[in-house]
Structure 1
Amino acid sequence: MHRIKIINGNIITPYRLLERGTIVIEDGVISCVSKEEVAVQEAEVIDAKGHYIAPGFIDIHTHGGGGFDFMDATVEAYLGAAKTHARYGTTAIVPTTLTSTNEGLKQSFEAFRKSKSLNKLGAELIGLHLEGPYFSPEQKGAQDPRYIRVPLREEYEQILDWSKDIIRWSAAPEITGAMEFARYARNKGVLMSIGHSDAIGEKVAEAFENGFSHITHLYSAMSGVKRVNALRVSGVIESAFLLDEMTVEVIADGIHIPADLLNLVYKIKGASKTVLITDSMRAAGMGEGPSILGSLKDGIEVFVEDGVAKLPDRKAFAGSVVTADRLVRTMVKTAGVPLMDAIRMISSTPAKVIGIDDRKGSLVPGKDGDVVIFDAEINIKATIIKGKMVYEKKLMN
C-alpha cells in the first residue's frame, strides 16, 4: 500500500481550518484528516511548512492551456493542457469544445477518449463540455458564427451517440427547438447550461423548468435588462440572481468581471451556488502575444495582452488566459471574499454541480487524494492527484 502523510499545514476542510494538521492518503484515497499528529507506518512524508492545504481545484470550463486547445483534437493537446493546469493547482478538468463542424467535434471526442488512460501527470479528465453550437447570433461572443445553428433532434441525438463522455452542454434556451433539446439531453444525464443567450427572464424561467440548471460564464455573452415594446424586461443575468436554485460560474480574472461585480455575485448567490472557472484558451500559462482561439487549422487569430485575449481589433475579449490559482487570488485579494469560501467555489461547489462530489471536492476520508498546497499569496507549492505528486515547487517558509 502506498501511503502519503502531509504534515504541518493549515488544512481547509469543508467547515473549518485545521492549523498544523495532518492528512493521510492511502492508495490514492484520503484515509485520515486530523489536527493532531498521526502515526503512519511506511509513509512518504510531505512537510507543508505552514502553508495551506486545500482540496484540488476543479475547473468545469476550460478550452486548453500551455499552447494546446482541445479543438486541436489530438491526444497531445489533451495531455499537454491537463499537465499545464496541474501546475496551477487544478486536479480535475472538464475539457470544453467550441462551436465547430460536427467532424471537428467527433475528432475531439475520440482524442479525449484515448487521452483518459494515458493521462499520468495532468489534471484528471472528468468529461466533456460542449459549448455550442446552439447559440444566439446576437450573443455569439468569440464563437465562430459560421457554425452557430438551431438544435435539430437528429443532430444532437447523433452527437450524444458519438461519445458517452459528454457531461455538460451550453446552449441558448430562446432559439427554436432548445427546450426539447434540453429535456432530451438532461434525460441522458447531461448538465444543461444557459450560455451565449439573449433570452428574457420569462424564457429563462421556462428553461429552468425544462432542465437548464446552470449559467455559463455569468455576465459574458448574455442579456441583461432591456426594453421590449418600451417596457423593461429582465435578461439572463437578472434571472440567474432571481432563481435561487440556479447555479452560476464566473471567470474570476478581474478583467472579464470587475471586482465589484464578483463581490455582487458572491453576496447574492453565495459560495454554494457560484463556481470559479478559467474558460481558458491555449494561451493560458503562456506569455503575451499572438495566439489562436480554437483549433490550429480552423481557429480565430487573437492577441494576448493585459492578462486577457482580445480580438485583433481590440474591441472585444476573445478568451481567458487565466489559471485556477489566479481565480482564487482574485476572489480573495481583489474581491475580498474569505479564503475558505473562494476555495469552496473552486472545489466542492463545482464537484456538486457536475455530480462528482461523492469522490472529489473536499478533504474528507473516503474521497480521492486530490490536494493542493499553496502559500498566503496563493502561489502553488504542490499538486497531488489521487495520492500522486504531479507538480512540486520547493516548499519554503
Structure 2
Amino acid sequence: MLGNFCYLAYRIFTDFSTIMSTTRPIKISNGRIITPYRLLRHATLLVSEGRIAAISEGDIEAPEALVIDAAGRYVAPGFIDIHVHGGGGHDFMDGTEEAFHTIAKFHTRHGTTAMTPTTLSCGKEELLAVLETYQRVSGQPGHGAQFIGMHLEGPYFAMNQRGAQDARYIRNPDPAEYRELTTRFPFIRRWSAAPELPGALDLADWLRGKGILPALAHTEALYDEVLQAFERGYTHATHLYSMMLGVTRRGATRYAGAIEAAFLIDEMTVEIIADGIHLPPPLLQLVCKIKGPGRTALITDAMRGAGMPPGESILGARHNGLPVIIEDGVAKLPDRSAFAGSVATADRLVRNMIQLAGQPVADAVRMMTSTPAAIMGVGDRKGSLLPGKDADIVLFDDQVNIHVTIAGGNIVYTKEVYA
C-alpha cells in the first residue's frame, strides 16, 4: 500500500511541475463557452488580475496575454465540491497542512477549483486540530482548489444511520460544544446533523443565526419531522438516499421518510454522489427529473482513496481511522457489507450525469458549479462565467477529460504547456 502511495505522490507532483504562475492576462480562444444563459461557440474569454475581464463571441484584443487555444473544447466554470473528505492518499482528518494542500492540488487535476473540506464524527480534540489546520492553511498561497469554508459532518447523528461514521463519537447536539466551535471558527459554513435528535432544531436556530447552513444527514426522520426541520433551517439534504429513510412501515402503517420529504419540499436542495455506484442511473435520473439542476448539487464525498490504486485504505484520520477496501470504483467496509465512502472525482460526476443520467452538458455542469455555489452562498463570485467573477475555469473535451484548470486566475493544472 505504501509503495502505491509513493508512486501516486510522484505522479501527482510530476504532473504539477507544469503549473504555471503568471501575472499576465490569460486569453482563452476558440472555445465552447458555457455561460449561465447559452453556449457560445468559437468564443473568447479574457482573465485579468484573477477575475473574468471579458467574454466575446469574437476575438478580444489582448496582445500582452498568455493565449490558450481551447481547440473547440468546452470552457466552463470551475467545479465546486461542497462535500469532500480527501484524495490522493490524504484525508482532511489527518489534520496536517500537507494533507490540506495535497488534497486541494489533487482535485484540480479533475477540474475542481473550490471545495469545502469535510470532517467525520470524531472527538473534540481531534476536531479542534483539523479546524486549527484549516485556519492556518486558508491564508496561505497555494496552487490548488480554494477552500470556501468547513463542513462538519457529524457527530450529531442517528446511531442506526451512522454508516461508516465511528460509533464511539455519535451523540446528541451539545449546545456548549457547537456554540464554542462556531464562535471560535467562523469559517465553519455548514453542519450536517440528524434533525430528529433532541436539541437538533435549536442547533439549526443557532447555525442560521451565524450564517451557517444546517443540512440533514444520517437521519431516521420521517416526513413530518423533516418538514418541521426545514422550517427551522434544514434546507439542504446531505448525500440524498445515503443513510436516510425512504418509505418505511411502523406496524401496518407506511410513512414517508426523509427521501420523500426532500422530493416533496420544492425549495429543499439536495446533493448526490453521482459515481454511478452509490446511486445507479435510474436514481440519478429520478433526482434530476424531480429536483432539477437548480436544486441538485453533485458531490464527490471522496475519501483518501480517490486517485489511489485498488486495495486497503483508511477512512478518516490515518492514525485512528476505519480500515476499508477500495475496489470496483468505491470504498467498502472490510466485510463488504456496505459502502464506506466514495473515490469519485468531479470530472467523473459530470461525465456520469451526461452519459448515465442523460443530462445535457450545460445542466450537468450547472450541478457541479452554480448550484453548489448558491447552496454555499458564494454565487456572487463563483459558479458561473460572467465578467467580474472569480477566474475559476476548466477546459474539458467531449468525454469530460480535463485539459486545463484555472483557479483564481492561476493555471493550477494543465496537460499542455503554454508560453
Q: Quick one: structure 1 residues 389 and 260, their matched pair in 2 at CA, closer, same or farther if it must change by over 3 Å?
A: same
Question: Is the deviation greater in 112-121 or in 132-141?
Answer: 112-121
Q: Counterpart in 2 of 1:97?
A: 119
SS in 2 for 1:23: strand
Q: Is residue 84–residue 122 contact of structure 1 (8 Å, CA) maintained in 2?
A: yes
How far off is 1:335 after superposition?
1.2
Matched with 1:239 is 261
**Which amino acid is 2:101 matched to?**
L
Give me the whole-angstrom Cα distance separating, in 1, the residues matched to 2:182 and 2:319. 25
The match for 1:52 is 74
SS for the counterpart of 2:29 is strand
* Percentage of identical aligned residues: 55
- 1:286 alignment partner, one of 301, 308, 316: 308
Q: Which of 100, 116, 119 is the equivalent residue of 1:78?
A: 100
Secondary structure of the 1:58 match is strand
1:321 aligned to 2:349? no
Corresponding residue for 2:318? Answer: 296
Aligned-residue offset at 1:117: 2.4
1:376-397: CA deviations, max 9, x gaps? 00000010011110000138xx
CA distance in 1, matches of 2:109, 2:373: 20
The corresponding residue for 2:329 is 307
- 1:196 corresponds to 2:223: no
Aligned partner (choices 239, 245, 253) of residue 217 of structure 1 = 239
State the partner residue of 1:163: 185
1:29-178 pair list within 5 angstroms: 29-178=51-200
Aligned equivalents of 1:143, 1:236: Cα separation in 2: 19
Question: SS of the counterpart of 2:28?
Answer: strand
Letter in 1 for 2:104: A
* Superposed displacement of residue 314, structure 1: 0.3
- Using structure 2 for the length normalisation, give the TM-score: 0.93
Find the residue that maps to 2:323 and give its secondary structure.
Answer: strand
CA distance in structure 1 between the aligned counterparts of 2:398 and 2:259, rounded to whole angstroms:
33
Report the AA paired with residue 283 of structure 1: G
Distance 2:183 2:207 in 1: 11
Cα drift, residue 229 of structure 1: 3.6
SS in 2 for 1:118: coil
Partner amino acid, structure 1, of 2:338: A
CA contact 1:79–1:119 (8 Å) conserved in 2: no
Residue identity opposite 2:260 in structure 1: E
Secondary structure of the residue that 1:97 maps to in structure 2? coil
- Aligned twin of 1:385: 407
Q: Does 2:330 correspond to 1:333?
A: no
CA distance in 2, matches of 1:390, 1:248: 29
Partners of 2:316 and 2:163 in 1: CA distance = 13
SS in 2 for 1:113: helix
Counterpart in the other structure of 1:19 = 41
- The answer on 1:248 being equivalent to 2:270 is yes
Q: How many aligned residue pairs are there?
A: 396
Residues 135-193 of structure 1: per-residue CA shift (max 9 Å, x gap): 00111011001000001211111121331110000000011110011111111110110
**Separation (CA, whole Å) in 2 of partners of 1:54 and 1:182:** 34
**CA deviation digits over 1:291-336, x for unaligned, max 9?**
0000011100000000000000001000000000000011001111
1:194 maps to a residue whose letter is L
8 Å CA contact 1:10–1:20 kept in 2: the answer is: yes
Cα distance in structure 2, aligned partners of 1:163 and 1:104: 15
Displacement of 1:119:
4.2
Aligned residue identity for 2:335: D
C-alpha distance in structure 1 between counterparts of 2:199 and 2:251, whole Å: 25
Residue in 1 aligned with 2:394? Answer: 372
Q: Hey, which bits of structure 1, 4+ residues long, moved more than 4 A?
A: none
CA distance, structure 1, for counterparts of residue 63 and residue 193 of structure 2: 52
CA distance in 1, matches of 2:33, 2:123: 45
Structure 1 gaps of 5+ residues are none
User: Counterpart of 2:267 in structure 1: which amino acid?
Assistant: E
Q: Which residue of 1 aligns with 2:297?
A: 275
1:118 CA displacement: 2.4
Displacement of 1:97 in angstroms is: 0.3
> What is the TM-score when the length of structure 1 is the normalising length?
0.98
Question: Partner residue of 1:363?
Answer: 385
Q: Which amino acid aligns with 1:31?
A: A
The letter of the residue matching 2:185 is S
One-letter code aligned to 2:279 = I
Contact 1:197 1:221 in 2 (8 A): yes
Evaluate the alpha carbon distance shift between residue 262 and residue 105 of structure 1 in structure 2; reply closer, same or farther with a 3 A threshold.
same
CA distance in 2 between counterparts of 1:113 and 1:46 reads 35
Conserved in 2, the CA contact under 8 Å of 1:123 and 1:385? yes
Partner of 1:359, secondary structure, is coil
What SS does the aligned partner of 1:212 have?
coil
CA–CA distance in 2 between the matches of 1:84 and 1:19? 30
Q: Deviations over 1:256-310 (max 9, x none)?
A: 0000100100010000000000000001111111000000111000000000000
Q: CA deviation at 1:2?
A: 3.0
